[in-house]
Amino acid sequence: MNLTLKVWRQSGPNDKGSFEIYQAKNIVPDMSFLEMLDVVNDELMANGKEPISFDHDCREGICGSCSLVINGRAHGPTRGTTCQTYMRNFYDGQVIVIEPWRAKAFPVIKDLSCDRSAFDRIIQSGGYVSANVGGAPDGNAMPIPKVNSDRAMDAAECIGCGACVAACKNASAMLFVSAKVTHLGLLPQGQPERAARVQKMVSQMDQEGFGACTNQYECEAACPKSIPADFIARMNCDYLSASVTPKQ
Amino acid sequence: MTLDSRIPSGPLQQKWDKFKADQKLINPANKRKYKILVVGTGLAGSSAAASLAELGYQVETFCFQDSPRRAHSIAAQGGINAAKNYQNDGDSIWRLFYDTIKGGDFRSREANVYRLAQVSVNIIDHCVALGVPFAREYGGLLDNRSFGGAQVSRTFYCRGQTGQQLLLGAYSTLSRQIGAGRVKSHPRCNMQDLVVVDGKAKGIIVRDLKTGKLETHMGDAVVLATGGYGPVFYLSTNAMGCNVTATYRAHRRGAYFANPCFTQIHPTCIPVTGDHQSKLTLMSESLRNDGRIWVPKNPGDKRSPEQIPDSERDYFLERKYPSFGNLAPRDISSRAAKEACDAGRGVGEGGRGVYLDFSDAIKRLGDKLIKERYGNLFDMYHHITNENPYKTPMRIYPAVHYCMGGLWVDYHLMSNIPGLFVLGEANFSDHGANRLGASALMQGLADGYFIAPYTISNYLASTKPGEYSTDSQEAKQTLADVQDRINKILNIHGKRSPMSFHRELGKVVWDYCGMARSKQSLDTALKRIPEIREEFWRNVSVPGSGDSFNQGLEYALRVSDFLEFAELLAEDAMAREESCGAHFREEYQTEDGEAKRNDAEYAYVSAWEYKGPGNKPQLHKENLSFENVHLAVRSYK
């Protein structure tokens, strides 16, 4: 198949940026979306032109690096990450618009790569259990009901890609933050810091310039790991109860 | 230089305790005077950085990804081994040690492997304390599953994403230290070279990928936890960014590279579908708990799998290795699959594939339970191949997955360059010639949480803090060397993309130095690799500048190191005239096609010394002595 790509090119954070048009020729339906871009980039490089920058690494849907808005949808037309989007979901002759995540807290570095270090800073503010190496009790010392540990795992599956932010009209990071708050909040190990954690993480989220949640559920629809928006409600509940518990 | 592995004296079971009893300590107030540079933030790097910061050292971390959380440890699926014996099935530290030594085909050090088995139990405890959501039984206790090469269930897991959860655990504890200001994190920074001052590792040169700026960072010790070199084969299950640059550049500065030819080919990956492919996707070994591997008995049988009756199927692993069956170790399973395909019995397009069939398990356990165990893997397979594995058998084929080889380290995990520590997949130490499933996560976290914090402290205790400067002659010279190399690559202005060279190299390494090797094939590889490298330095096209975000340049620099390293890999494969583990030399096999080890002449670690461009590397041998296990023929029959 042959495709026309309208790709966002931006030489640096301070450049205004614009769309440029490329032809992707002889694309095979079994190719992944990023392999299609490899073909385009390979040709650009062989002709001495700068390739289109985009973040990617594992190409199996788990590292969370890839981050393209394809035809207006974060990670493209199918559920899953950009790297797990296959060309069989497009048709010959289609025009495909490719953009980076767009959010104030995720400034563009170049072309389709953006800076998501705001997510790291949110985790650094409290997304952990403060346990040093050396003092842990036996792994089976504290039984955890399977239903809780399974639910915690549902939340822990978040890959931190940022599609939730890209899909939200408010560029809210609440699905991301609530996933970590829920994961640790459901486990006994997470209880001692539960109130402080949610307060610190929400405060950091606000400082980074992410918007608020207005219950549109776009995040849930875009999330490649199907993290449910219920977790946001759970986080709000934790946040509220934290505001009436004594400060740590 | 003679290789001193610095293994403590005394009985095997007491060596690690003896080390700890004898180690030198640093007073808490003095620890903060030392700075440690940690390169790589996967399981080994993140856990080491966090543990060292907890002790009070100044730590800086570097990773090429945009966040420490994205290191490729995240992609490990199946699980992590630990000798907890929670299943009451006869497991013990000794048994985990023995399985790992045997699985590695008796080419690893007894003392290191025994220590690994000892600390495995602490890893699980610590990860649970960090909130890693391991799978549990209904009673709330931890669940286990079986993995290849073992007859006990000792593998802990988090659905099919164990690596992700363990890495996020290590990342969270690293994040805590970053938030507290005890670790400085440098994401999007690619190490380009090692600074050696008076024979000791004192710094690194990194390229800040966002700005293109070269930076010199100096410290009292350098830790490399930069993973494996699988993409030297181009197609592998590794991430696109996995590379050999950090370890190979350290090798060029004097660090010995050990056993580079020991590369693991994983039996259960989605087969190659075409030339466009950029990576191969692993289907976790855990699937072999319930899936049965087979090919049609008759070559050229083109019927769909459902139409082939049981009597005309060859469940070749169950037939050849009845006591381990579908859970035979990776090297053995991979070779058996290759053998079936070479005999014309392979399935799917191109005939390079075998079936992994769940129909019996689904009949026995039902869709629901299978979904619970492997749901995400089945979805992933469905997504990639457009075939539903609940209805039709998966097709799988071996692919490059893990590197047992790596920089040579002693018992302290220190390379032959004092102050340069190497952890996780980047070192060679624990897996011999073949790694068992669910052991990579165990080793990464063992090194990072429980071993390096002790051994690095021991090293620093006899080092004066702060004896380095970015203005030293060595630092300036190394920086200039890196700058020269970048200028050189940018000024070629050739006609071919870096990817085209990488593909060409990968095909040579896979075809002539892959699952089976011979003197003849290695001769071809050793002839072809320098030719490709020569053309690369004459005809590669790398547009853009060095002082900006330039992914083409990043990639070209990595490919240039693969082009040198590939030759070392082939040299090592050539020099090892025996078959052991993943290293299968066609000249050395038994009558029924099994690997034929030569313990009399090859029970050693090959450690290669760099001798300058254009010169043959020099081989040093560390003889392996086995005082506690009997060197047996490795049989899984």
A127 with A232, same domain: the answer is yes
A49 with A148, same domain: the answer is no
CB environment B99-117: b (16+ within 10 A), e (fewer): bbbbbbbbbbbbbbbbbbb
pLDDT tens digits for range A96-150: 999 999 999 999 999 999 999 999 999 999 999 999 999 999 999 999 999 999 9
A122 with A209, same domain: the answer is yes
Q: By C-alpha distance, which of B34, B405, B363, B69 is closest to B222?
A: B34
Q: What is the pLDDT of residue A37?
A: 98
Q: What is the pLDDT of residue B309?
A: 95
Q: What is the pLDDT of residue B1?
A: 64
A105 with A122, same domain: the answer is no
pTM tops 0.95 = yes
A142 with A179, same domain: the answer is yes
Q: Work out the average pLDDT over A3-19.
A: 97
Residues of B within 8 A of A227 (CB-CB) are none
Nearest C-alpha in A relative to B76: A62
Q: Is B435 a catalytic residue?
A: no
| Inter-chain CB proximity A133 and B51 less than 8 Å | yes
d(CA B557, CA B535) in angstroms, rounded, equals 15
Pick the catalytic residue: B188, B330, B435, B634?
B330
- Where are the domains positioned within chain B? 266-398, 473-612
Res A29 pLDDT > 70: yes
A233 with A172, same domain: the answer is yes
Residue at A202 is within a domain: yes
d(CA A154, CA A157) in angstroms, rounded, equals 6
- φ, ψ (nearest 5 deg) of residue B618: -100, 135
Alpha-carbon separation of residue B454 from A54, B21, B22 (angstroms): 40, 11, 11
Name the average pLDDT for chain A. 97
Chosen for mutation from B51, B77, B190, B276 (greatest number of chain A CBs closer than 10 Å) is: B276
Place of tokens 């970015």: B470
Chosen for mutation from A11, A26, A123, A183 (greatest number of chain B CBs closer than 10 Å) is: A123
A234 with A212, same domain: the answer is yes
| CATH number of A71's domain | 3.10.20.30
Residue at A214 is within a domain: yes
Residue A218 Cα, gap to closest chain B Cα (Å): 22
**Across the interface, which of A11, A50, A113 has its CB nearest the CB of B552?**
A50
Chosen for mutation from A101, A140, A161, A197 (greatest number of chain B CBs closer than 10 Å) is: A140
For residue B204, what are the β-bridge partners?
Answer: B194, B217
| Inter-chain CB proximity B543 and A49 less than 8 Å | yes
**Across the interface, which of A35, A140, A184 has its CB nearest the CB of B131?**
A184
A35 with A139, same domain: the answer is no
Residues of A within 8 A of B20 (CB-CB) are none
Running along chain B, 637 residues long, what does each successive block of 10 average in pLDDT?
Answer: 91 98 96 98 98 98 98 95 97 97 96 98 98 97 91 93 97 98 98 98 98 98 98 97 98 98 95 90 90 95 94 96 92 93 92 95 93 86 92 95 98 98 97 95 98 98 97 98 98 97 97 96 98 98 96 98 98 98 95 92 98 95 96 83
| CATH number of A149's domain | 1.10.1060.10
**Weakest mean pLDDT among A151-165, A171-185, B369-383, B429-443:** B369-383
Confidence of residue A248 (pLDDT cuts 50, 70, 90): low
Residue B604 Cα, gap to closest chain A Cα (Å): 34
A55 with A143, same domain: the answer is no
> Residue B2 has what DSSP assignment?
-
Of A110, A128, A162, the position where a domain reaches its end is A110
Residues of B within 8 A of A55 (CB-CB) are 66
| Inter-chain CB proximity A146 and B548 less than 8 Å | no
Nearest C-alpha in A relative to B130: A129
Q: What is the pLDDT of residue B521?
A: 98
Structure token digits, residue A21: 């048009």
Q: Where are the beta strands (DSSP E) in B485-568?
A: none
Q: What is the pLDDT of residue B64?
A: 98
**Across the interface, which of A35, A50, A183 has its CB nearest the CB of B133?**
A183
Residue at A209 is within a domain: yes
Architecture of domain B266-398: Alpha-Beta Complex (3.90)
Residue B337 Cα, gap to closest chain A Cα (Å): 24
- Asked whether A110 and A11 are in contact (CB, 8 A), the reply is yes
Residue A186 belongs to what domain range? 117-243
Residue at A38 is within a domain: yes
Q: What is the pLDDT of residue A42?
A: 95
Of A56, A78, A110, the position where a domain reaches its end is A110
| Inter-chain CB proximity B133 and A152 less than 8 Å | yes
User: Could you give the percent of chain B with pLDDT greater than 90?
Assistant: 92
- Asked whether B183 and B53 are in contact (CB, 8 A), the reply is yes
Q: What is the pLDDT of residue B635?
A: 80
Sheet containing strand B214-218, edge to edge, reads B189-197, B200-208, B214-218
Of A110, A129, A147, the position where a domain reaches its end is A110
Full DSSP string of B56-90: T-EEEEE-SSSSGGGSGGGG--S-EE----TT-SS
Cα dihedral sign for A206, A212, A217, A222?
Answer: negative
Residues of B within 8 A of A42 (CB-CB) are 497, 499-500
**Across the interface, which of A55, A143, A152 has its CB nearest the CB of B141?**
A143
- φ, ψ (nearest 5 deg) of residue B194: -110, 135
ipTM surpasses cut 0.85 = yes
| Inter-chain CB proximity A120 and B185 less than 8 Å | yes
First to last CA, chain B: 42
How many folded domains does chain A comprise?
Answer: 2
Alpha-carbon separation of residue B184 from A103, A125, B189, B332 (angstroms): 26, 14, 13, 44
Q: What is the pLDDT of residue B2?
A: 75
Residue at A58 is within a domain: yes
Q: By C-alpha distance, which of B36, B71, B70 is closest to B53?
A: B36
Alpha-carbon separation of residue B211 from A145, B52, B490, B581 (angstroms): 49, 29, 16, 44
Architecture of domain B473-612: Up-down Bundle (1.20)
Alpha-carbon separation of residue B137 from A148, A184, B20, B87, B156 (angstroms): 11, 19, 36, 11, 12
Residue at A248 is within a domain: no
> Alpha helices, DSSP H only, in A30-108?
33-46
A185 with A82, same domain: the answer is no
DSSP-derived 3-state class of residue A172: strand
**Across the interface, which of B86, B129, B543 has its CB nearest the CB of A45?**
B543
